[in-house]
Amino acid sequence: MSNLEQIEAAILSLPSNEFEKLKQWFLDLDYERWDEQLEQDIADGKLEAFAQEAIAEFEAGHCREI
């Protein structure tokens, strides 16, 4: 049995309250990693083209108030 299969089996055997705690922990971890990746992409300049495009669209009046 692989590690993943062992983890899956362990998760399936968790009581509901522990499963909910695990689920929340996993979601928090996922959001944290997403934030870290986004910050790294910004630092690396990977989003600069999108930012410039958005600024150009705004300056051209192609926007609406939300």
Domain boundary assignment for the chain: 20-66
In angstroms, the CA 4 to CA 33 distance is 20
Question: How much is the pLDDT for 34?
Answer: 98
The arithmetic mean of pLDDT across residues 50-64, rounded, is 93
Record the pTM: 0.68
CA distances (Å), 40 to each of 8, 29, 33, 46, 54, in order?
Answer: 31, 16, 10, 9, 20
Q: Write out the H or E segment, with its range, that includes residue 28.
A: helix 16-43
User: Is the Cβ–Cβ distance between 49 and 42 less than 8 Å?
Assistant: no
Question: How much is the pLDDT for 55?
Answer: 95
Is 66's pLDDT higher than 90?
Answer: no
In angstroms, the CA 37 to CA 55 distance is 23
pLDDT tens readout for residues 4-53 = 999 999 999 999 999 999 999 999 999 999 999 999 999 999 999 999 99
